[in-house]
Amino acid sequence: MDRAETDAKIREIAEPFNKKGVTITEDTSFQNDLEFDSLTVMDFVAEIEDEFDIIISMNQQAEIETYGQLVDAVHKLRSA
């Protein structure tokens, strides 16, 4: 799965969490733009982990602030 396919799948997963209908770009912030609270982040990350069969550590989660960073991290974990 290349980065574009990873991006497309994450966009699909993000759709139900995007309550405000924000246009998601590489620079979209989960906290500021999408207004995800900690519970929403946990649910969203769990869905991604299940879909891609990966584990995103708490340290990695703390470093991911934007949508593009998430796609890069998931793509890297899938490629490892």
Q: Please state the pTM of the whole predicted model.
A: 0.94
How confident is the model over 40-72, as pLDDT tens digits? 999 999 999 999 999 999 999 999 999 999 999
How confident is the model over 3-32, as pLDDT tens digits? 999 999 999 999 999 999 999 999 999 999
The separation between CA 60 and the C-alpha centre of its own chain, rounded to angstroms, equals 12
Structure token pair of residue 67: 């949508």
Structure token pair of residue 68: 């593009």
Q: Is the dihedral of CA 52, 55, 60, 62 positive or negative?
A: positive
* 80 — pLDDT class (breaks 50, 70, 90): confident
Between CA 45 and CA 23 the distance in angstroms is: 19
Q: Does the pLDDT of residue 34 top 90, yes or no?
A: yes
Q: What's 34's DSSP letter? A: S
